[in-house]
Amino acid sequence: MIWKKEVSLEDLNNAPEYIGTFLGIKFTDWDDNTLKATMPVNKKTHQPWGILHGGASVVLAETLGSYASTLIIDTEKFAAVGLEVNANHLRPASDGEVTGICEPIHIGRKTHVWNIRIINSENKIVCISRLTVAIIEK
């Protein structure tokens, strides 16, 4: 298990207001190696043409990876901040919700790299993203 903190889904979902709460991101599950969250596909997350905005997918990816890093580090001494994110938008979504599944690629002392797959309700990939998180001293 990579997680070093004991938290509940309630803890994860009761964060102070941020862009993820505005978009409706909800953490739903984790296991030894993955963290999952959902995001509705609706007017808040659409682009003007009625499909999921790529930026909303990136918010989901960065939220998952950043939270995952904070579950590994000593947050009294360090902060996890996004360093680089990329995303390939492979399939449109126009309604329902998408699920982000975050898994580690690299967990180092100063950087973490996460793979985030965003899937639709049919388990088809909507977006694949990679997030690099810098671990900085507070």
Give catalytic residues, as residue numbers: 62
- Maximum C-alpha span of the chain: 44
d(CA 77, CA 4): 14
Nearest to 67, CA basis, from 98, 21, 121: 21
Q: What is the dihedral of CA 12, 16, 22, 25, to 10 degrees?
A: -10
11 and 40 Cβ atoms separated by less than 8 Å: no
Token pair of 2 as six digits: 């990579």
- Phi, psi dihedral angles at 63 (to 5 degrees): -60, -50
Cα 77 to the center of its chain, rounded Å: 23
